[in-house]
Amino acid sequence: MTHMKRSLLVFTSGATQIFFALYVLLKIANINIIQLSSEAMFIPGIIIFLASGYLTASYYFGDKKNNSALYDEYTAIRYYKLGAIGYAINGIGIFLIFSTQDYANWSLQTANTMIYQIASFAWLIFGVLLVCFSIGDFKEARNG
């Protein structure tokens, strides 16, 4: 595993999450730019599982010297900072989604829509953060 490989894996995962999250958010707003089959909605999860599995396997079974360069303190600090930012943005977004609901006209369909909004918003935020993380890896690959 190299910084460039990890950058590509993480970027692909993040970009896929962003695409499908925006697709769901636009669908909720009744904006149909493209039409996807509902069977395609498993794609982001599969990509995340495969990329995570590959990254985990490369960490445990890969070259120890290379791993110490890939998983150093700088990477951990970048990961923790992005995670904290993501959870803060996610919390604010969920608060806004909850506060904009019209509970006087609450129905099962409205609750379903809110669940889709929350899920797609979280996927969007963490997809953007994965892309940001991959940009850091790309810079490391170019500099190193």
40 domain-assigned: yes
Domain range spanning residue 45? 3-53+70-143
Residue 78 lies in a domain: yes
d(CA 144, CA 118): 39
Give the lowest-confidence range in 8-22, 65-79, 92-106, 130-144. Answer: 65-79
Query: Who's near 122: CB < 8 A, 6+ residues apart?
Result: 90, 93, 94
Q: Is residue 60 part of a domain?
A: no
pLDDT for the residue numbered 133: 85
Alpha helices in 29-143, H assignment, sequence order: 43-61, 64-70, 73-99, 108-143
pLDDT tens by residue, 98-123: 888 777 888 888 888 888 888 888 88
Q: Is residue 93 part of a domain?
A: yes
In a domain, 65, yes or no: no
**Residue 58 lies inside a defined structural domain of this protein:** no
What confidence score (pLDDT) does residue 144 get? 66
Percent of the chain with pLDDT over 90: 4
Query: Is 61 within a domain?
Result: no
Answer for the pair 128, 18: CB distance below 8 angstroms, yes or no. Answer: yes
pLDDT in tens, 45-69: 888 889 888 888 887 887 777 777 7
DSSP-based three-state secondary structure for 34: coil
Q: Which helix (H) or strand (E) holds 105?
A: none
Domain count, the chain: 1
